Amino acid sequence: MAMQSMLLAENLPTGPIDGRFGKRTKKALQAFLKARGYETGCCCCFGRRSTRALQAWIKDQGGEPGPLDGCWGRRTTSALQAVLNKVRAEKAPAKDEKAPAKEAAPTVANGMPVPSAVPMPEVAVVSVAA
């Protein structure tokens, strides 16, 4: 899900964020790699060339995916997880920084919310005889 979230943040459609490495996630990852200058091969599948490109990206991000051989194994998966965690941590606000506060709804002096400027629709009340 971390990869899908990262790709979505880059405006690359991955389909639902479900943790699956499906067709749309593969295409989004290939587009991500290609946009950064990595050669990904054909667009119909995520083969060895695309895996090699992913391994090169991981290595460029400071990860250790093992040999850049296009074989996706334990070391590639582990390094990808570490790099995605690092990318997510870099984008998250620091703990001492507070997220911007949401603007409170306008209120009058007695603390009651100000009525919306949008008119509410009339609702007909229908009683049902028992």
* Number of domains observed in the structure of the chain: 1
Q: Would you say residue 124 lies in a domain?
A: no
Q: Would you say residue 63 lies in a domain?
A: yes
- This prediction has a pTM of 0.69
Range of the domain at 11: 2-91
Q: Would you say residue 109 lies in a domain?
A: no
Q: Would you say residue 8 lies in a domain?
A: yes
At 90 the pLDDT is 86
Q: Distance between CA 23 and CA 9 in Å, rounded?
A: 18
What torsion, rounded to 10 degrees, do the Cα atoms 55, 57, 61, 65 define?
Answer: 0
Q: Distance between CA 63 and CA 81 in Å, rounded?
A: 9
Q: Which residues of the chain have pLDDT under 50?
A: 116-118
